[in-house]
Amino acid sequence: MDIKAYIALSLSLFIIGIIGVLIRRNAIIIFMCIELMLNAVNLLLVAFSKMHALSPVAKASLDYASDAQIFVFFIMVVAAAEVTVGLAIIVMMYRNVHTVDVNFLNRLKN
């Protein structure tokens, strides 16, 4: 498949993520949107990696063919770590203020 399709897909996922982060106030949804953005990048990385593996340079030395996909695993690990911390924060927030509305957290203002 054409690489452009992958780019378009991941770009639209990413923008959906951004818009979600910007317009939603529910912390959980914001969190999911962030994950969406991460995964959009992951998708892009995999797509490029695949494209790269097909190029003549990479064919000459198969060793490098799938290196980029390692990053995806890294990102997934980081994302997992983030989920644990992030969800914990959201839970704590809910416990303290009984809401997951981020705009409720404006104490820094004053």
Partner 1 sequence: MNNIFKLIWLIPVLPLIGFLINGLGRKSLSKKTSGILASAVILGSFILSLLTFIQVNQGVTSNVHLFNFIHLNSLKVAFDFKIDQLSVLFLMIITGVGFLIHVYSTAYMHEEEGKDFAKYFAYLNLFVFSMLLLVMGGNYLIMFIGWEGVGLCSYLLIGYWFRNTAYTNAAKKAFVMNRIGDLGFLLALFWLISKIGTVQYDEVFDVANLAKLSNIDITGITLLLFVGATGKSAQIPLFTWLPDAMAGPTPVSALIHAATMVTAGIYMIARSNALFSLAHETQTVITIVGLATALFAASIAIKQNDIKKILAYSTVSQLGFMFLALGTGNYVAAVFHVLTHAFFKALMFLGSGSVIHAMGGEQDIRKMGGLHKHMKITSITFFIGCLAIAGIPGFSGFFSKDEILASAFSHSVVLYSIALFTALLTAFYMFRLYIITFTGTFRGTNDQKHHLHESPKAMTIPLLILALLSIIGGYIGVPEALGGHHYLSAYLSPVVESVEHHLTNSTEYLLMGLSTILVLVAILYAWVKYKNYQIEPEAKGLGKVLQNKWYVDELYQKIIVNPLNAVANFFNNIIETKLIDGAVNGVGKGINYGSRQLRWLQSGQVGAYVLLMVIGILILFFIQLIL
25 binds partner 1 (CB under 8 A): yes
102 binds partner 1 (CB under 8 A): yes
Which H or E run includes 78?
Answer: helix 67-97
- Binder of partner 1 out of 16, 21, 41, 51 (CB under 8 A): 21
22 binds partner 1 (CB under 8 A): yes
107 binds partner 1 (CB under 8 A): yes
Only segment of 42-50, 57-65, 79-87, 102-110 that touches partner 1 (CB under 8 A):
102-110
Question: Of 73 and 104, which CB lies nearer to partner 1 in the complex structure?
Answer: 104
Contact 92, 14 (CB under 8 A): no
Please state at what angle helix 3-23 crosses helix 27-54, rounded to 10 degrees.
Answer: 160
CA distance 28 to 99: 11
* Distant-in-sequence, close-in-space partners of 26: CB < 8 Å, separation ≥ 6: 100, 101, 102
9 binds partner 1 (CB under 8 A): no
Only segment of 19-27, 42-50, 51-59, 62-70 that touches partner 1 (CB under 8 A):
19-27
